[in-house]
Structure 1
């Protein structure tokens, strides 16, 4: 019970410490932290539109956070979520524009095929790890660049001549949710937010309620013991990477189908995949923890623009706050020591 309580308490303390250090930074460079944080939270909760746009910015982080967390839980470090996200975007854009299907079927087909291509892309790194023992950090980083440049080449060469974007998707492939969008003053909310929650529940069920999930976690915890117990370590490594990539691919699909309606030439990485690493760490690599940490991360990122617009505070301050939160979460031993010290002081006061 105490351990479970600490898993909840440590991230909360890390968030408070990050915000506190951020306030000190603001004061040190001449800004009012109270006004800054008021503008920040006003940018998140100040209107229905802001709340809707915050949820929209949270949605892709849930997918990438789930992708990273799933890999972590199975003993793998998937740095290639960014590339798998791009592959999902490209696949969804192609299917959304080129295929002609009934409305709901078209959108589902685009998401499913984006998951397949994202999973296959990640499985390359899994295969190299399982067969040739090449560390997945190296292969996934390299696959990010291959995904970025390959998608740019395909857009220019095949999808739309020398234009910067793929053709717009057909209305039947859109994930728009007009009713929900109107509730939030026409914010760009879409069905992707519901898909992300359903996938979080599915990942929890797979990891913690199925025999296959137990196998995947066992291989990640100790591959030698798992092999001795008769588990196919190589197959489970490839499977883990494929599932992780499929989650990232789904994120790319809903971003294309729900927000932009096309996929364009990328001058560099969007950073959504790399932000997923932070989301997974803050969420304790737990599917439901990822949902909460994505809300925090996405909210701070979206609200920081109001800090800059209203108070002139650089948005980089919030990036530093997020980095500090991650640092404090990673330094959980320090936070646990602080919790223990406060508890001992409380017990001493109680005795006296």
Structure 2
């Protein structure tokens, strides 16, 4: 049951309800922190200070946010087409594999002005290919996209490991990683760009991929809600039979949605490999594809909401690291527990409180109408 079906206004569904769910999650998390003998208010202060209280901490927070924006947008595009893409991990890995191959091959010979756009396109192409195959299998062969995307995650990880070990690992190296990219294949970091302008900024992993994430957020919004292809994709997601009756092609839209979803997931490689590590590694995605599911659900599949949800998870990731250092009793497992509670309340249980808010809204409406009638009678 949706908030709209409960006659809840959109502002309440998009703003008030998520804030309420987040408050509940923090309240329960505070109770868990209290049980282990820690001060919840002190833990919250350390978390926020570590994530937002310094330029370096903010840089790390926005670096995590960038990755979660990419994966959140990837999940949202598929969901708008009625598809649950759980393959963001594998699509990001294939994006990195293709992008890494292009970088190792061409970066010694091309300037950054050509190399960086080419790497973005390569990452998008790799992710799009790995997303389009499950889309094709569902549209034309009836294979469920949830099952195939999960399987493709394992296939992508195995393929990446095989290529690194047997083809890309430098001779004599025991590390399962490729050789370093040339400088032209490195996405400029924020502190480097600040230095070009004569400004000082603490070093952090934040790089130009953050701007790319913001541009893609605007692009996804425009495409879904301001373009005809985006309208057709949402129409197919709402009712494939009605869309087919209206002359649309559900199969092609399924393929398109999964391809675009995979391309967005592939952008994770740009942030992680081109922006930070400078080489292809074995496990650079590190669960970001699955986190993107929670980000998309919390953000109501809207780019603005996804950006805010991604920022929240960026704060949790960076602040959680600070918590584990500043409060030794607050272990990394406890950080994961707090993150899980937020996912539970603000994601999986997002609509549990919706009937209460709908009833309160209906009561307010009846009260206002009654007051208006009485005023009219006495007027």
TM band (smaller chain): over 0.9
CA distance in 2, matches of 1:132, 1:13: 42
Instruction: Specify the alignment match of 2:336 in structure 1.
Output: 319
- Which residue pairs with 1:174 in the alignment? 186
For the pair 1:273 / 2:294, whether they are aligned, the reply is no
1:142 corresponds to which of 144, 151, 168: 151
Provide the residue aligned with 2:49 in structure 1.
42
Equivalent position of 1:107 in the other structure? 116
**Quick one: structure 1 residues 269 and 256, their matched pair in 2 at CA, closer, same or farther if it must change by over 3 Å?**
closer
Q: Which residue of 2 aligns with 1:131?
A: 140
Q: Which moved more, 1:191-200 or 1:167-176?
A: 167-176
Shifted more, 253-262 versus 179-188: the winner is 179-188
Structure-1 residue corresponding to 2:376: none
Distance in 2 between residues matched to 1:316 and 1:14, nearest whole Å: 22
Residue equivalent to 1:331? 349
The whole-number CA distance in structure 1 between the counterparts of 2:303 and 2:356 is 27
Could you tell me whether the CA contact under 8 Å between 1:78 and 1:136 is conserved in 2? yes
Query: For residues 316 and 40 of structure 2, what CA distance do their matches in structure 1 show?
Result: 15
State how 1:77-88 maps to structure 2 within 5 Å: 77-88=84-95
TM superposition score normalised by structure 2: 0.87
User: How do 1:149-298 residues align onto structure 2 when only pairs under 5 Å count?
Assistant: 149-161=158-170, 163=173, 164-177=176-189, 178-180=192-194, 183-266=200-283, 270-298=286-314
SS at match of 1:334: coil
Q: Distance in 1 between matches of 2:210 and 2:245?
A: 41
Whole-Å separation in 1 of the counterparts to 2:343 and 2:205: 29
1:1-60 Cα offsets, whole Å, 9 max, x none, are: 922333211111111111111111111121111111111111112211111111111111
Q: Are the aligned partners of 1:52 and 1:184 in contact in 2 as well (CA < 8 Å)?
A: no
- The Cα shift of 1:345 comes to 9.0
Q: Give the superposition deviation at 1:337.
A: 3.5
Residues in 2 aligned to 1:2 and 1:225: alpha-carbon distance in whole angstroms: 26
Aligned residue among 115, 121, 137 for 2:130: 121
Query: Relative to total residues, which structure has the larger helix share, 1 or 2?
Result: 1
Offset at 1:269?
6.3
Q: Which range moves more in the overlay, 334-343 or 66-75? A: 334-343
Cα shift at 1:161: 4.8
Matches of 1:175 and 1:314 in 2, distance apart?
Answer: 33
2:23 to 16, 24, 35: 16
TM-score by length of structure 1 reads: 0.93
Q: CA deviation at 1:341?
A: 6.3
Q: Cα gap change, 1:137/1:148 in structure 2, threshold over 3 Å: closer, same or farther?
A: same
The one of 306, 310, 313 aligned to 2:322: 306
Gaps of 5+ in 1: none
**Structure 1 residue 326 displacement after superposition:** 2.9
Residues 87-137 of structure 1: CA deviation (Å, up to 9, x unaligned): 111222222221021212101101101101110110000000011111000
Equivalenced residues, count: 348
